Amino acid sequence: MSRPSEPSERSDPSRPITVVTGGSRGIGAATCVRLAVEGHDIAFSYLNDILAAEDTAARVRAAGARCVAVRGDTASEADVERLFDTAAAELGTVTGLVNNAGVTGPITRLADAGTDVLRRVLDVNVLGCLLCCRRAARDMAVSGGGAIVNISSAAATLGSPGTYVHYAASKGAVDTLTVGLSKELGPDGIRVNAVAPGIIKTDIHAAMGAPDRPTTATAHLPMARPGEAEEIAGAVAWLLSSDASYATGTVVRVAGGM
């Protein structure tokens, strides 16, 4: 299998070039593949899981797209700059950004949460999103426009008491920066939107210590099931597409009625 950092050969200047953070697994991986099917070339980041990154890169290339995978932490300014520099050098002018990388930390009441957990959640979910948006804003203003989609969460409006109030607060910040940036960047031809998923079947639940959560926490919902990562990817693809050319500053909730 090709190493994930190798772009494929073909180059077509008319194709959108989209950066996806956290593309190795879950919603990010599904988004990379969906965008590839829709004609995007993809640069994605991942933190640790090189095998998962190789799998995503292979699926993106199998869909006919060029792909470059860059290991790096979205909470690191240097890593974010390297991600965008690599995308530009190996694929071309970046036209889209999906700020997907996110963490919750373990499920806990705020009173029992460690400061290291609070800091990490805010660093990845808020600072990381801002660093990527800042770089995209700088590049897209020069290149003539683009589109940004931030992955928020239904938690932003629910507050998630007893589970992860700190994570919900970080996603509230994502919603706010989405609205503010959409107004700031509209004159530059840059649309900024968000998708707020409900409970989606990914590894994030096991990572927070509740692997059964997609089943146990969705039985009471109107749709009585968790969502699939592909159902979020579809909303992201729409917001990046020309079909969403008049959509900016909106948070699209894809949460099964949650």
- Pick the closer one to ligand NAP by CB: 186 or 223: 223
Among 52, 117, 233, 236, binds ligand NAP (CB under 6 A): 52
3-state secondary structure of 93: coil
Both tokens assigned to 24: 């190795």
- Pick the closer one to ligand NAP by CB: 15 or 71: 71
Segment lying near ligand NAP (by CB under 6 A), choices 26-34, 136-144, 216-224, 238-246? 26-34
Helix residue spans in the chain (DSSP H): 26-37, 50-62, 77-90, 115-122, 128-143, 155-158, 165-185, 204-207, 213-216, 229-240
Question: Is 122 a binder of ligand NAP (CB under 6 A)?
Answer: no
Phi, psi at 234, each rounded to 5°: -65, -40
Question: Is 163 a binder of ligand NAP (CB under 6 A)?
Answer: no
Residues contacting residue 65 through CB under 8 Å, at least 6 positions apart: 8, 15, 35, 36, 39, 40, 41, 42
Question: Is 105 a binder of ligand NAP (CB under 6 A)?
Answer: no
CB of 12 to ligand NAP, least distance (A): 27
Question: Is 45 a binder of ligand NAP (CB under 6 A)?
Answer: yes
Torsion of CA 192, 200, 15, 4, to 10 degrees: 120
Among 46, 95, 98, 190, binds ligand NAP (CB under 6 A): 46
- Of 153, 166, 63, 176, nearest to 100 (Cα)? 153
Q: Compute the residue count for the chain.
A: 258
Segment lying near ligand NAP (by CB under 6 A), choices 32-40, 109-117, 199-207, 243-251? 199-207
CB of 229 to ligand NAP, least distance (A): 6
How many residues of this chain bind ligand NAP (CB under 6 A)? 30
List 67's β-bridge partners, or say none: 42
State the catalytic residues. Answer: 167
Q: Which of residues 84-103 bind ligand NAP (CB under 6 A)?
A: 100-103
Terminal-residue alpha carbon distance, the chain: 40
Question: Is 177 a binder of ligand NAP (CB under 6 A)?
Answer: no
What x/- string results for residues 202 through 221 when contact with ligand NAP is judged by CB under 6 A?
xxx--x--------------
CB of 51 to ligand NAP, least distance (A): 9
Over the range 21-57, which residues count as b (16 or more CB within 10 Å of their CB) and which as e? bbbbbbbbbbbbbbbbbbebbbbbbbbeeeebbbbbb
The answer to whether 236 and 149 are in contact (CB under 8 A) is yes
Among 98, 126, 151, 177, binds ligand NAP (CB under 6 A): 151
Among 4, 7, 16, 22, binds ligand NAP (CB under 6 A): 22
Residues that bind ligand NAP (CB under 6 A): 21-22, 24-28, 45-49, 52, 73-75, 100-103, 124, 151, 153, 197, 199-200, 202-204, 207
